[in-house]
Amino acid sequence: MLARTEKNLQIIQKWIKNDFPNAEIFYSPVDIKNEKQVIDFVASLPSDKTIEWVQCVGLGGGTVTVKDDNPYITIENISPELVEAEVTVLKDTVAFLQKLLPIFKKQKETRVVIVSSMSAVRSVPGGAIHNAAKGAISRFANAAMIELGKNNIFITDVRPGGVDTGMYDTKAVQESIKPMAVSYGYDWSDENGGLRLAPPSSVGKAIAAILSSEAHITSLNLVARGQWPHEGS
Ligand SMILES: NC(=O)c1ccc[n+]([C@@H]2O[C@H](COP(=O)([O-])OP(=O)(O)OC[C@H]3O[C@@H](n4cnc5c(N)ncnc54)[C@H](OP(=O)(O)O)[C@@H]3O)[C@@H](O)[C@H]2O)c1
């Protein structure tokens, strides 16, 4: 596991160890924007094990300041900093894959999962720049899977809808999501049960299924039950 904040990695390691005491879980606090840290991390990977890669890096809280921590904003209010921050997820993914490729090309077979988002294929009002950035990473995943499939590097694009990882906790975000559901004919009023978000474990289970499949699953869309399942809008 790789992220910048060591204490969070420790917490997740502990959670997994509680359920799977024999699991060998290691983490490295690495900033994937820091080329030296990435090079050192890749050099530290064991050479006697097959390396597979699940990429679900996001902006992380606080990377860019948006009013009320609400990333759903109208076009007039999109700042150049937000555009830059959204696009860095693509840049960082490309750079990290480039560093791993020499290892992947030597392996008999490699599986890679890139978590993009339903936002890649399901546009929403207020989501213009987020939809654009996720569309870019999703297309990158598809082009890369075509280019690298002949090297037995099998990439999967996973597109979750809204997942309960904390970004929908504030009232401001919840209020900007509800009209999106309404525009697709879904009633997410409090009286009707409020937001429908998938549990993070549902994304993990989908990734486990992809990694253990005999086939190359090219892409997978998932939304919480009761979240509008619109594809390709
Ligand atoms: N939550 C949703 O509803 C949802 C739905 C669809 C798709 N997604 C996508 O799924 C991915 C994960 O979502 P999330 O909600 O868990 O996002 P998140 O809270 O932004 O988490 C992103 C992860 O990336 C790490 N990270 C950020 N910058 C990093 C850097 N420079 N170097 C290393 N690690 C870095 C963060 O840890 P540190 O901050 O400690 O580095 C954190 O572990 C994102 O790409 C998101 O857009 C999320």
CA dist list (Å): 134 to 137, 146, 150, 172, 213: 5, 19, 25, 22, 25
Domain ranges of the chain: 52-222
Say what the pLDDT of residue 69 is: 75
Ligand 1 pocket, residue 163 CB under 6 Å:
yes
Say what the pLDDT of residue 233 is: 64
> CB of 69 within 8 A of CB of 173?
yes
Task: Kindly state which CATH superfamily the domain 52-222 is placed in.
Answer: NAD(P)-binding Rossmann-like Domain (3.40.50.720)
Per residue of the chain (233 residues), give pLDDT as tens.
Answer: 999 999 999 999 999 999 999 999 999 999 999 999 999 999 999 999 999 999 999 876 556 667 777 878 899 999 999 899 899 999 999 999 999 999 999 999 999 999 999 999 999 888 999 999 999 999 999 999 999 999 999 999 999 999 999 889 988 889 888 888 998 999 999 899 999 999 999 999 999 999 999 999 999 999 999 999 999 86
pTM above 0.85, yes or no: yes
Distance in Å, CA 191 to ligand 1 centroid? 31
Query: Which residue of 4, 8, 169 sits with most ligand 1 atoms within 8 Å of its CB, as the best mutation to test the pocket?
Result: 4
Ligand 1 pocket, residue 4 CB under 6 Å:
yes
Say what the pLDDT of residue 167 is: 86
Distance in Å, CA 57 to ligand 1 centroid? 4
Ligand 1 pocket, residue 90 CB under 6 Å:
no
Quick one: tokens of 146?
């075509």
Distance in Å, CA 85 to ligand 1 centroid? 12
Say what the pLDDT of residue 60 is: 66
Distance in Å, CA 201 to ligand 1 centroid? 15
Say what the pLDDT of residue 104 is: 98
Residue 168 is given by DSSP the state: T
Say what the pLDDT of residue 62 is: 59
Say what the pLDDT of residue 66 is: 72
Element (H, E) at 220: strand 219-222
CB-based contacts of 55-58 (< 8 A; 24+ apart in sequence): 55/93, 55/96, 55/112, 55/113, 55/114, 55/115, 56/115, 56/203, 57/3, 57/32, 57/89, 57/92, 57/93, 58/89
